[in-house]
Structure formats: C-alpha cells, structure tokens
C-alpha cells in the first residue's frame, strides 16, 4: 500500500475519507430534498386555498336573470312623476300574465313575484325615468332573479332534500322550471359584482363601494406615507448625525413596523375620530390610519435602498465638488428609486389587505352607494369581505369568495408591478 | 531649484512653484493615529508619487488634500495644508468648492450610471461653469481630449459611461475630474483595476496631464512610480519616511526603510 501515501501526506483513498465524503454527499442531498419538500407543501397550500376560493367563488361571477315582457301600465304610472309609480304592482301583474293558471290569490302572487329580485322594480323605474315615453308600452326586461332561485338555477339547492327542510317548496321549483323551459332564464356574467355597491340582497350586492373606498384609502395612504417616508429615510440615512437620539429613532421605527395593525386602528379611533372629530367610516381617515402602518415599512425599505447605492458613486460626485444635497438628490436617490418603489408597492399591498384598523374606524358600515369623495362613508375590500362573510344569506357565501379573489387579483397585480420595476430599473455596477 | 531639474528640461521652468505645502499633518481615525507629522511640499506641474506598503497612510494623506476625509465622521485632521498659500482647512473654505479645484480619480473606475456626456458635464454644470449648451459641449470635448478619450467616444456621447471598458471608464473619470478645471489632480491607485495596456494608456495620459496640473498619484507599483513621477514620497506606518526626487529615491535612498521597501524586503 505504498501508493496510498503521496507527497501531501494525506491518504485520499482511505476508507475513512471515503465514508466522510459519502456522509457529506448524503447531507447535501437531504438538505436539497427538505427544501423541495418545503416548497411542495407551500405550493400545495396555495393551490388548496385558490381551489377552494375558485370552487365556491365562481358561482358569484354569473347571475341568473329572467327575461320578461313588462307592460308599463299607465294606470300605475304617472308620466309627470315617473319616480313615484307603483312598480311593485306592475311586477305582480307581469308575473300574473306569465302564470295564467295560478289562482289570483295574495299568497300565491307573492310567491310568484318573489322569483324576481327586489331590485327588479328599480331596474324598471330607472328605465322609465330615463324615458317616460315608454309608459303604456310593453318592454322586454332582463332582471336578476332572487338569490334562492339563483341558487336553484346553479344547482345549489338539492331537490332530494325533504320539502320541509328546503328553502324552495315543490310548487316554487315547478314555477321556476316552467320559466326555464320557456327559455326565459339566462345566466349572464355578473357585472353587478363590480358595478353595484353593497346591498342586503346578494343578487344585487357588488364591490363598487369597496373598490372605490379602497382606492381612496390607498391614494391617501400613498400621498401621505410616500413623501413622509422618503423624507424621513433620507434624513436619517444621509444627514442625521449618528448619536443616541438617532439610534433611538431607528429602533423605534423598526419596532413600529412590528406593531399589530389593530393598535394603529385604536390610535386612529382615539386621535383622528376622538380628538379631531374626523368623519367615521371615511376612506380618507382609513388612508391616514393605513399610512401610519405603511410609514415604517417605507422608511425601512428606503433606507435599505439608499444604503445599497455603492459608496463609489457618492465619492465620485463628492470629488467633482457636489454638495451633500446634490449627491443625495442627483445620484443616490435616483439610483435607489427602484428599491424605494418596490418597497412602497409592497407596503401599499399590505395596506390594501389590512382589515383590523379599518374595522375600528367604522369602515365596516353597511353602505349602499359608492363614495363620491374620500370623505364619504365607504367600506374597503377587506372590510367588505368581512361584512359578507358575516351575512346569513346563502348568496354571500360565493360572493365572499369572489370578493377575496378580486382582492387577491389586485394584490398580485401590485406585486407584479413591484417585480417589474425591480427588474426594469435594476442596475449593475 | 536643484540640480536635478536640469535633467528634466520640459518642467524645469515651473518646478520652483510650490502648489501644496503640508506641514505637521496628523490624521486620527477615532483614537488611532493614521498619519504622524507629515511635512511635504508638492510642486506645481509635476507628478508626485506616494508609495509605501498597504496601510501606511498614503491614501489617507491623499484624501486630506481635497478634504474627502471630512465625509468620514470619526476622522480628524490636524496641522496645516496650504493650497496656493491658503489653508484649506480654514473655516472660511468651502470643501465643496475646494474639491472642484482639487480633482480626484479613484482606484476603481466609478463613472455615474449616466451618459458619457453627462458624466463629464456634471461638474461644470453644478458649478455653473458653462452658461450655454455650446460652452458645455466645448468643455466636454476639451476634457475628453485631455483624457485621450475623445476619438474613441465622440460618436457615442449619449451611451452610458458604464458601458465602456475598464481603461476607458478610468479615462472617463479623469475627463470628469479635469472638466472642473482643477489645479491639482489626485489619483488614488488609478491603475490597480486595469490591465497592462489600459495602464500604459493612463500612464501616458498622466505624463501629459502634468503640463497643466499638479498630479499626485498613490501607487502600489514602484515601477509605476518610477515611470510616471518626478518626485516620490515614501510612507511607512503613518510616517513620511523620505521625500525626494524620484531618481534619488530609487537609486540612492537615504533612509534604510526606503531602501528595504524598494528592494522588496518590506511591504
């Protein structure tokens, strides 16, 4: 075995070294498998979440409608005051003509009109108010049906359930099947989900109020936290002397980023609503609250981005005689901008999904119209999800999932923009 | 002023001018002293080389000459440094203005991530040296010509400076430094990140620059010091050990430490 000893004095072929190598290889493979396993589990969880959301939520993206000929009876309508007409009676008459065999009995007629959504009368009223000349004519309308019939049409009501436990009785189902056989039932895309504000009736409820509210809140949040955050970060990173005070400020900013959001909500409730008497449920106040939360995130991201600018660039600018301010605003800040924007967008995406502070300032109110200014009462997307998840009507189950999908879409879009900005403006030195 | 000037007739006329006079300079980083009692007179229109082993303080001393050390919080400079008989550490001196007068080129080429034109025009722009676009164009061209880069980049002035090769980037940095019409040009190991060909180009350029500026160059390479400089200062452990004509330092050093260093026994 003389060939095993070489001039380095180490035996690379010895069994002990071979087993050592084998052990090293094995632990490397184990680590790799663990990593793959972690990713697989995370991916499965994500898929589970999305599948469950989509499988319940997709029902909300269509809405069953009834195509029906409505005689705009001049007996119940005054052309001078189209808003004051008896539209309920017109609908009852309409349904009576649809089902001539049904006896003319109050309870039976009520059953028939309850096929239609409560919003049907407003659909007709709006059309008449738009064009009062229609009075006396027969016009075709496509109106949403009530939530229970929507559920029936989507197969969410099991006809095998004993009648007394079912929300729709046999005769009601028969009536609906009759309409379906006539081809009067359609199931178009549920545009109301995005164009209507909230409603007690699931078939009429939409996210417009929440979308506009969230937009105003995020806009306020951005306008407040972006300039303040960047300003604070530039001062702390570039101009502030390093001493105990600045250390204390730095520690506190890092702590603020970790404060639970509900605490910011309580603070806003006490200060903005309590002391300053700002309006309740207003997206503007919601935005201010979210800005409190987003501010530390933006400051930390901005400081990290400023720190990442290579010192050679600062030296280069200083050496040609740029002042500190010219160095910061002319060179460092533009180079740090992609990092700052990425951090800001991620901070805003966080703010978009934040619920607790908005609940505390009353942005979970039931509001049936979209806000026209940031100072009007409104909900936001997460609080709207919270309200819907809390509602007993069956239609809100799928609408809650649909709203979550809408929120997730916005979050994914914002994160995609952040990634795009980072890739586009990333510089190599 | 001495007989050595006779051997360099092209600079003999101007060499009597002292551009920078440093006396009794001490530099501290916190509690540690990096430079001890340095006295040195740097002549105008001359290349002065600072040599010495790593950590000997030559770069630190160079950075005192344009007050770049001011940007380091813990750094403290004592003693007197006169530029044209004016104390650059006097309270009425604005370091920002001083740095336009004393240009600097760094070890690693550090062009701004902007166009070649903007890199050179930046200094003149912030100092308001050019009132019109035409004047600025002229300054940019002149500076790039001085840095021997004009012919290579004149057709692509609006392409990013970071896209040039290492040697071109370093010459771009030299152009940027000379664009503010400095009187002194400080170079901190300007060739240590360059290949031999780029190094030769920059050295050639340094030789031309000394017609107009007083050039101070820090270098690790004794060959480079011997090639480009007329005066050489040897630093060791924060002390200026020996300062003399380059020929003298390399052929007849007075101090044993200098001799050890140039013969490769320390460093």
**Could you list the pLDDT tens digit for every one of the 429 residues in chain A?**
445 545 667 888 888 999 999 999 999 999 999 999 999 999 999 999 999 999 999 999 999 999 988 888 888 888 888 888 888 888 888 888 888 888 878 888 888 888 999 888 888 888 888 888 888 888 888 999 999 999 999 988 888 888 888 888 888 888 898 898 988 899 999 988 999 899 889 999 999 999 999 999 999 999 999 999 999 999 999 888 888 998 999 999 999 988 999 999 999 999 999 999 999 999 999 999 999 999 999 999 999 999 999 999 999 999 998 989 999 999 999 999 989 998 999 999 999 999 999 999 999 889 888 999 999 999 999 999 999 999 988 889 999 999 999 999 999 999 999 888 888 877 654
Q: Which residues of B touch A319 (CB under 8 A)?
A: 66, 68, 99, 103-104, 106, 177
Per the CB < 8 A criterion, the answer to whether A140 and A116 are in contact is no
3-class DSSP assignment, residue A215: helix
- The DSSP H or E segment spanning A194 is helix A192-195
Contact criterion met (CB < 8 Å) for A321 and B71:
no
* Residue in A217, A224, A194, A325 with CA at minimum distance from that of residue B96: A325
Could you tell me if B67 lies within 8 Å of chain A, comparing CB atoms?
A: no
- Contact between B49 and B219 under an 8 Å Cβ cutoff? The reply is yes
Pairs of residues, one from chain A and one from chain B, whose beta carbons lie less than 8 Å apart? 65
Alpha-carbon A232 to chain mean position? 30
Task: Find how far residue A388's CA is from the centre of its chain.
Answer: 13
What span, in angstroms and rounded, lies between the C-alpha atoms of A109 and A105?
6
Contact A318 B127 (CB under 8 A): no
pLDDT of residue A428: 53
The pLDDT assigned to B186 comes to: 94
- Residue range B9-262 forms a domain whose CATH class is alpha beta
Q: Do B206 and B213 form a contact (C-beta atoms < 8 A)?
A: no
ipTM metric: 0.85
Single out the residue of B221, B210, B228, B229 nearest to residue B262, CA to CA.
B221
Residues of B in contact with A321 (CB under 8 A): 96-100, 123, 126-127, 180
Q: Cβ separation of A316 and B108 shorter than 8 Å?
A: no
Domains along chain A with CATH numbers: 65-188 (no CATH), 208-425 (1.10.3720.10)
Of B73, B108, B111, the CB nearest to A242: B73
Whether residues B176 and A320 touch (CB distance < 8 A) is answered with yes
Inter-helix orientation angle A333-352/A395-425, to 10° = 170
Q: Alpha-carbon distance B242 to B215, whole Å?
A: 19
Q: How far is A415 from chain B (nearest CA, A)?
A: 27
Q: Would the CB atoms of B162 and A317 count as touching at under 8 Å? A: no
Nearest-by-Cβ selection for A320 from B71, B108, B177: B177
Report the distance separating Cα B62 and Cα B51, nearest Å.
Answer: 11
DSSP B182-240: -SEEEEESTTTTS-HHHHHHHHHHHHHHTTTSEEEEE-S-HHHHHHH-SEEEEEETTEE
Strand order of the β-sheet with B75-83 is: B86-87, B75-83, B18-29, B32-43, B239-245, B231-236, B47-51, B214-218, B184-188, B102-105
In chain B, whose CA is at the least distance from the CA of A322?
A: B96
Query: For residues B10 and A52, what is the distance between their CA atoms, to the nearest angstrom?
Result: 86
Q: Which of A316, A321, A429 sits opposite B180 (nearest CB)?
A: A321
Domain spans, chain B: 9-262
Nearest chain B CA: its distance from A321 CA (Å): 5
How far is it, in rounded angstroms, from Cα A344 to Cα A325? Answer: 23
Q: How far is A329 from chain B (nearest CA, A)?
A: 13
Shortest distance, CA A316 to any CA of chain B (angstroms): 6
d(CA A280, CA A183): 48
Nearest to A141 by CA among A128, A129, A123, A153: A123
Q: How far is B176 from chain A (nearest CA, A)?
A: 8
Q: Does A322 touch chain B (CB under 8 A)?
A: yes
A243 in contact with chain B, both atoms CB, cutoff 8 A:
no
Of B103, B108, B113, nearest to A427 by CB-CB distance is B113
Evaluate if pTM is beyond 0.95: no
Q: b/e string for A214-242 if b means 16 or more Cβ within 10 A?
A: bbbbbebbbebbbeebbebbbebbbeeee
The two beta strands, B231-236 and B214-218, are unpaired
Q: Do B106 and A312 touch (CB under 8 A)?
A: yes
Query: Token match 């409104």: residue?
Result: A378
R_g of chain B, CA atoms, integer Å: 18
Contacts A312 to B, Cβ<8 Å: 106, 108, 110
Burial B147-185, CB ≥16 within 10 A → b, else e: bbbbebbeeebeebbbebeebbbbbbbbbbbbbbbbbbb
Identify which of A82-91, A207-216, B147-156, B201-210 has the greatest average pLDDT.
A207-216
DSSP state of B158: T
CA A126 – CA A70 distance, rounded (Å): 14
B83 strand-pairing partners: B20, B86
Residues 140-199 of A with CB under 8 A from B: none
Dihedral angle computed from the Cα positions of residues A166, A169, A170 and A173, in that order, rounded to the nearest 10 degrees: -90
Record the tokens describing residue A187, joined without a space. Answer: 């199931």
| Minimal Cβ distance to A319: which of B97, B104, B127 | B104
Q: With contact defined as beta carbons under 8 Å apart, do A397 and A56 qualify?
A: yes
Residues from chain B contacting residue A322 (CB–CB below 8 Å): 96, 122, 126
Burial, A20: exposed, middle or buried (Cβ in 10 Å; 0-12, 13-18, 19+)? exposed
**What's the gap in Å between the CA of A320 and the closest CA on chain B?**
5
A418/A408 Cα distance (integer angstroms): 15
- Cβ-defined contact of A319 to B106 (cutoff 8 Å): yes
């Amino acid at each position: 075995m003389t060939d095993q000893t070489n001039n380095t004095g180490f035996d690379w072929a010895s069994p002990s070294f071979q087993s050592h190598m084998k052990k090293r290889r094995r632990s490397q493979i184990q680590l790799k498998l663990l990593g793959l396993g972690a990713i697989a589990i995370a991916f499965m969880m994500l898929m589970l979440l999305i599948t469950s959301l989509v499988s319940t939520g997709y029902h909300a993206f269509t809405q069953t409608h009834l195509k029906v000929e409505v005689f705009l009876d001049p007996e119940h309508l005054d052309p001078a005051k189209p808003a004051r007409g008896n539209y309920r009676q017109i609908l009852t008459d309409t349904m009576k003509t649809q089902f001539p065999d049904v006896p003319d009995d109050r309870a039976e007629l009520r059953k028939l009109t309850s096929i239609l959504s409560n919003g049907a009368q407003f659909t007709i009223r709006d059309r008449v108010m738009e064009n009062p000349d229609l009075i006396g004519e027969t016009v075709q309308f496509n109106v949403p049906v009530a939530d229970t019939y929507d559920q029936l049409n989507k197969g969410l009501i099991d006809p095998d359930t004993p009648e007394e436990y079912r929300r729709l009785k046999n005769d009601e189902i028969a009536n609906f099947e009759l309409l379906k056989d006539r081809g009067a039932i359609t199931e178009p895309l549920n545009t109301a989900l995005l164009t209507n504000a909230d409603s007690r009736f699931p078939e009429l409820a939409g996210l417009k109020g929440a979308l506009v509210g969230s937009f105003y809140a995020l806009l306020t949040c951005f306008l407040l936290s972006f300039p303040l955050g960047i300003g604070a970060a530039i001062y702390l990173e570039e101009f502030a002397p390093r001493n105990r005070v600045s250390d204390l400020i730095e520690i506190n900013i890092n702590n603020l980023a970790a404060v639970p959001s509900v605490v910011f909500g309580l603070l806003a409730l006490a200060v903005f609503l309590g002391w300053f008497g700002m309006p309740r449920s207003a997206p503007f106040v919601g935005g201010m609250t979210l800005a409190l939360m987003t501010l530390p995130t933006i400051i930390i991201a901005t400081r990290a981005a400023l720190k990442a600018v290579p010192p050679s660039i600062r030296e280069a600018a200083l050496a040609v005689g740029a002042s500190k301010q010219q160095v910061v605003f002319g060179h460092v800040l533009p180079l740090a901008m992609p990092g700052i924007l990425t951090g800001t967008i991620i901070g805003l995406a966080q703010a978009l999904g934040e619920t607790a502070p908005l609940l505390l300032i009353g942005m979970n109110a039931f509001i049936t119209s979209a806000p026209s200014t940031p100072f009007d009462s409104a909900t936001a997307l997460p609080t709207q999800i919270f309200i819907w998840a809390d509602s007993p009507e069956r239609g809100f189950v799928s609408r809650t999932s649909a709203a979550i999908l809408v929120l997730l879409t916005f979050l994914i879009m914002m994160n995609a923009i952040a990634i795009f900005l980072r890739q586009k403006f990333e510089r190599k030195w | 002023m001495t007989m050595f000037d006779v051997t360099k007739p092209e600079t003999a006329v101007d060499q009597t001018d002292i551009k920078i006079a440093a006396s009794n300079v001490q530099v501290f980083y916190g509690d540690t002293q990096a430079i001890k009692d340095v006295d040195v007179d740097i002549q105008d229109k001359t290349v002065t080389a600072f040599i010495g082993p790593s950590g000997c303080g030559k770069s630190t001393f160079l950075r005192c000459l344009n007050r770049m050390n001011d940007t380091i919080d813990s750094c403290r400079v004592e003693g007197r440094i006169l530029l044209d008989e004016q104390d650059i550490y006097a309270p009425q001196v604005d370091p920002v203005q001083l740095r336009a007068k004393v240009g600097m080129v760094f070890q690693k080429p550090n062009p701004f991530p902007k166009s070649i034109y903007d890199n050179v025009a930046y200094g003149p722009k912030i100092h308001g040296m050019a009132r019109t676009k035409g004047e600025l164009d002229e300054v940019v061209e002149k500076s790039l010509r001085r840095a021997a880069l004009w012919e290579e980049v004149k057709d692509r002035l609006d392409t990013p400076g970071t896209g040039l090769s290492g040697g071109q980037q370093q010459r771009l940095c030299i152009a940027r430094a000379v664009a503010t019409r400095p009187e002194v040009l400080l170079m901190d190991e300007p060739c240590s990140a360059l290949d031999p060909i780029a190094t030769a180009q920059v050295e050639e350029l340094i030789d031309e620059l000394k017609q107009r500026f007083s050039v101070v160059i820090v270098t690790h390479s004794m060959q480079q010091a011997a090639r480009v400089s007329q005066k050489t200062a040897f630093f060791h452990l924060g002390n200026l050990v020996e300062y003399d004509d380059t020929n003298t330092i390399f052929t007849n050093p007075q101090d044993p430490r200098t001799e050890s260093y140039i013969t490769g026994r320390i460093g």
